[in-house]
Amino acid sequence: MKITMVGTGYVGLVTGTCFADTGNRVVCVDVDQEKIFRLQRGDIPIYEPGLAELVHQNMKHRRLSFTTRLVEAVPGSDFVFIAVGTPQGEDGSADLSNLWAVVDQLAPVLEPQTVVVIKSTVPVGTNAQVTRRLEEKLGRRVDVASNPEFLKEGSALEDCIKPDRVVVGVRREEVGRRLRRLYAPFLRTDRPFLVMSPESAEMTKYAANAMLATKISFINEMANLCQALGADINDVRRGIGHDARIGFAFLFPGLGYGGSCFPKDVRALQAMARQLGLQPRILEAVDQVNQQQKRVLLDAVHEELGEDLSGHKVAVWGLSFKPRTDDIREAPSLVVVDHLLRHGAQVQAHDPVALENVRRHFAKHPRQANLSLHEDPYEALCGADLLVICTEWKEFQHPDLELMRRQMRRPIICDGRNLYEPELMAEAGFVYHSIGRAPVRPR
C-alpha cells in the first residue's frame, strides 16, 4: 500500500516508519523544511530508542521517504494520515490551525479511493467537521477515519509494533476493513482491533489520557497526605496496587506528569466540557494537583539551604519529562530549575539526552549565566550543596554513593522520584528527602 503521513513529530515519524517496515511505501510530509532536510540526510530530529536504525533501514530499501511537497506525495495514496500537532490554545482548548491547513491543501489532490485518517488528537466532532469541509470542496463523498495514537515516548516503537489495542472510528464498514488490513501485521498476537464511531474514537483518546493523569495526581495527593500524617506512600501504594481493581500502573508518586499529551489533553477535555455547560470538577483538580506537585520538593530545598539560595550550588539530575526521551515539554524539571535560578542558586544540571533542548529553553532566562549543563552526572555534583532528582533515568538507580559524597560539598538529596530506600541513604551518610515519606538524616 502507499501511505502519506503528514507530520513528522513523534507520532508521524514513528508510525510512518513502522508502516514502512511492514512493506508499505510511506512518504512523510512536513512544512518544516529544515526538519525534512535533516531526515533526508538520515539525521533523526528526536530521540527515541531504536528509531534511527529503523528509519535508516527503510530509507535504504526505498520504502520510506521525506518531502515538503504534499501535492506530490498524495496522488496514488491508499491512506493519508494526518499527524500534525494540536497544541493548547490560550483558553485551554486544542488549536486546530495545523489540521485545517493540511485539510485545505489536501482537498485539490485527494483521489476517490484515498481514505483520510486523523491521527492527531482532536476534540470530539472534528472528524465530522473535516468530512463536511472536504465534501463541500470536492462535491462528493469522502471517507475520513479517526485513529487515535497511544504511543508512549521512550517506548513508542514497541507500542506501535505491539499495541495494546488499535482503535478506529469509521462511518463505513469497508473503511474499517481496509484499516484492519493495514494494521494486520501488528495484530498477529490477537491484539484487539476496536471499530467504533469517529466520535467515540476521538473521545477514547482524551478519556485514556485523562484517566492516566488522574491516577498520577491521585497518588501524588495521597503521598502528600502520607508525609503529613507519618505514613509511607510506598507501603500504601503496595497496599492498594495489589487490589486487582486498582493495579500498579501509573501509581508511582513523584513530581507530577509532563510531556506533550497529558497536560494539554486534560485541559482540552475541560474546555470541551465547559463549552457544553458542564463543570469538569475532577479534571480541574487533576490539573491543579499536578501543577502544585511540580513544586513539592522546593520546600525541602529551602528547609535545607534557606530561602535565599545565593552562594549555593544545586545539582539537578534528570531534565526530560520522563526517561528515554529528550522531550522537556511541561517537564517538572523546568519549574524546579527556574525556581532555583530565580532564588539565586548556581544550578549544575545533567540529563542523558535532553541537554540541548534545555539549553535552548533557558537561553533567554534572566539568570541563564547561573546554569551549567553537564554530560557526566558526577561532574554536575562537583561542589554541590544539594542534589534534586527530577527524572527516573535508570542510570540514576544504582549510583556510586561514595563518589557522590566526595563530589558534593554537603550530602543532601531531594529525590522527586523515590529512587532510593531512605534507611540505606541515611546509612550512606546522606540527608534524604523524598515524596510521601519522612525525611532521614545520617545516624
Radius of gyration, CA atoms only, the chain? 24
Mean pLDDT of 189-214: 97
Q: In angstroms, what CA-CA distances link 158 with 15, 48, 163, 188, 322?
A: 11, 11, 7, 14, 17
| Cell matching residue 192 | 484487539
pLDDT of residue 402: 97
pLDDT of residue 269: 97
Sheet (strand 79-82) strand order: 64-67, 25-29, 2-6, 79-82, 115-118, 144-146, 166-169, 193-196
Mean pLDDT of 58-68: 98
Mean pLDDT of 128-137: 98
Residue 397: pLDDT over 90: yes
pLDDT range class, residue 133, cuts 50, 70, 90: very high
Whether the Cβ atoms of residue 66 and residue 97 lie closer than 8 Å to each other: no
| Residues 231-251 pLDDT 10s | 999 999 999 999 999 999 999
| Residues 86-97 pLDDT 10s | 999 989 999 999
Listed by start position, the domains of the chain span: 2-196, 206-292, 294-433
pLDDT of residue 337: 98
Is it true that domain 206-292 has CATH number 1.10.1040.10? yes
* Active-site annotation, residues: 261
Could you tell me which CATH number the domain at 294-433 has? 3.40.50.720
| Residues 351-385 pLDDT 10s | 999 999 999 999 999 999 999 999 999 999 999 99
pLDDT of residue 363: 97
pLDDT of residue 443: 81
Second-level CATH architecture of 2-196: 3-Layer(aba) Sandwich (3.40)
The domains spanning 2-196 and 294-433 adopt the same CATH topology: yes
Q: Percent of the chain, pLDDT > 70?
A: 100
- The chain-wide mean pLDDT, for the chain, equals 97
Mean pLDDT of 252-257: 97
